[in-house]
Amino acid sequence: MKSIKDLGDLKGKRVVIRCDFNVPLDGDTITDDGRIKAALPTLDELREAGARVVVLAHLGRPKGEVNPKYSLAPVAKRLGELLGTEVKLAGDVVGPSAQETAAALADGEVALMENVRYEKGEESKDEAERIELAKKYAELGDVYVSEGFGVVHRKQASVYDIAKLLPSAAGLLVKKEGDVFSKVLSDPERPFVVVLGGAKVADKLAVIDNLLKLADTVIIGGGMAYTFLKAQGHEVGSSLLDEANVETCKGYLEQAKAAGKQLLLPVDVRIAKGMDFDAKTVDGAVTVVKSDAIPADQGGLDIGPETEKLFADTIKAAKTVVWNGPMGVFEIEELSNGTKAVAKALTEVDGLSVVGGGDSAAAVREFGHADSDFGHVSTGGGASLEYLEGKELPGLTVLEGKN
């Protein structure tokens, strides 16, 4: 995979760079600018080289329609603050404003085009439609840099197709993400522990399937744990349950046992009658029960204290740990203990600790941890999951000339 240095002298050249600036917003206020900060080293390197930087990025899901709710204006403002320079925002993606804004750049200046997902061709399944849009992106610059790891698992015009049209390279972030996950999957220092959480077991089945072959221990928490508990024959009450995959989970439990691998499940859980996610409240009292003693009228919403210790001790004894998915509804204070315990344990790993993006990355920042407390905090939840599944990611393979 080529790096920026392989693109040669960039002074005076327009560099089209795809970033992932899909940040959470409260009105016009960015509540977590981690993805913007992650791109700064590459943007600084390009500016110092005298490049004229044309940034492509997305925000939310406007579905091919212009929607002011998803404007990148707050991103342009914050990016300018972090870079210490004005970042011009074009009024469109590839139209007259974008063309004029890109053409007017001086050496070392940065401009942001509007949300690429305003364009129908960006996420189109029709390759010809994507290529037409990619040609317009390519007209904005001389070379292309891929820095949006959060979207490299998708064949999208600004990620995949443009890389076939311009001399292309990976940015510092994309290269680091690729190096970290490649090491984890091909040469992990052992013991190698994987921690999986989140709501849906179906989202992680392919990851479990792949990592049961590679890891020494797979820890299962969050909503997905209850399908595994059901597979063990336990009552799970009103907990999240994927009935269609109970037999699949039973198979994974047997597979782990046969291979001499640990597949750790919660031994106790925090339960309640229900919750209101939007209001951040719990219906009734939160109590702790053994994981095989969940009442029929209540549901598991977080791991319990015994499980926190079991999981944390296993994590801290590892040399390589990858974590993807919270242990409970961490956004509600009473249900955040399990996720906090896992996050803290990862900071104490004597080896490589990887936070796999998405909700896990949001959680560690919400709990006050710095990215530097971990070996690596990924910027791509879906991309990191597909990497862990062992899939080839189109946005990376195209940079390696495999497409």
Residue 150 annotated among the catalytic residues of the structure: no
CA-based torsion, 388, 345, 215, 306: positive or negative: negative
Tokens linked to 378: 């990924």
User: What angle is formed at CA 396 by the lines to CA 395 and CA 402, rounded to 5 degrees?
Assistant: 100
Binding residues for (2R)-3-phosphoglycerate: 35, 117, 154
Q: How many CA atoms lie within 13 A of 178 on its CB side?
A: 25
Residue 141 annotated among the catalytic residues of the structure: no
Binding residues: 20-22, 35, 58-61, 117, 154, 204, 300, 331, 357-360
* CA-based nearest residue to 394, from 137, 128, 164, 211: 164
108: left (phi over 0), alpha (psi -120 to 50) or beta: left
Residue 356 annotated among the catalytic residues of the structure: no
Catalytic residue among 198, 304, 358, 380: 358
Catalytic residue among 13, 14, 18, 35: 35
Which phi and psi angles does 305 have, rounded to 5°?
-65, -35
Catalytic residue among 176, 200, 250, 319: 200
Which phi and psi angles does 123 have, rounded to 5°?
-110, 15
Cα separation, 281 vs 335, in Å, equals 10
Peptide bond between residue 24 and the one before it cis (omega within 30 degrees of 0): no
Residue 382 annotated among the catalytic residues of the structure: yes
Binding residues for ATP: 204, 300, 331, 357-360
Catalytic residue among 34, 64, 382, 390: 382
Catalytic positions? 35, 200, 358, 382
